[in-house]
Amino acid sequence: MPYHFLEVAVTPSVRAAQADMGADQIWLGNHDRPSDTFTENEIAFIASRDSFYMASVSETGWPYVQHRGGRAGFLKVVDPRTMAFADYRGNRQYISAGNFAANDRACLFLMDYVRRARLKIYAHVERLTLDADQALTDLVSDPTYKGRPERLFKLRLEAYDWNCPQHIIPRYTEQQVEEAVAPLRQRLHQLEAENATLRARLEGKAL
C-alpha cells in the first residue's frame, strides 16, 4: 500500500529535487504505515498541544501561515479522520478564512519543542457558523477561555507524517519552567529556614 502522505506531498518537481540530491531512492517503493487515519499516538499528541501552525493558499498562489493557540487540547479530534477547533476573534484580517473559501486545502504543523517532535497534517477545511452544528460547537468551546469565538473550522484528514527531531531546539513554557524549578525553590526555602534557625542559636549563645 503506497504511503499516502508521499502521494500528496511528492510531486514530479519534488521527485526531480530528490534526484538532484541523490535522495530519490530513499522514497521509492511502498511504505506500509498508516497516514490517513489517526492512531492513538497521534490523537494523544494532538490532545496535548496548546498551539499549531496552519498554512492556507490564496487565490494569488501565495501561501499564508497563521499561528493558532489556546488551552492544551483546544484542537479536538472528533474521530480518527476529523478534527475541529473554535476560531477566536483576532486582528480581523480573515485571511485564512477567505483562503479556505476558495481552496479548502491546509497544512498543519504541530510542535512539541520539549520532546523535539513534530506532526505534519494535510487536511481539507470546512468553515462553519457557530450554530451550524451545536454538538460540535459544544465540543470545541471553552467558556473559561478569554476570547470570542466567531466560527468553527472542521478539518477532514487527508494525510499525516512525523518529522525527524533534527534541528528542533528544545523550548519550554513558563509553566514547564515553574514546574521544573519548584523542587529547587522548596529546597532553597528549607535551607534558608535552617540557616535562620542556626543563626538564631549562635546569636543566642553569643549573648
Q: What is the pLDDT of residues 53-63, one digit of tens each?
A: 999 999 999 99
Are 40 and 137 in a shared domain?
A: yes
Are 151 and 52 in a shared domain?
A: yes
Q: What's the structural domain count of the chain? A: 3
Are 29 and 51 in a shared domain?
A: no
pTM, to two decimals? 0.85
Are 61 and 156 in a shared domain?
A: yes
| Confidence label for 79 from pLDDT (cuts 50, 70 and 90) | very high
For residue 196, the enclosing domain spans 172-207
Are 125 and 180 in a shared domain?
A: no
Are 28 and 39 in a shared domain?
A: no
Burial class of residue 3 (count of CB atoms within 10 Å of its CB; 0-12, 13-18, 19+): buried
Sheet holding 149-163, edge to edge: 63-69, 51-57, 105-112, 117-128, 149-163, 82-88, 76-79
The answer to whether the CB of 139 falls within 8 A of the CB of 84 is yes
The mean pLDDT value for 3-14 works out to 88
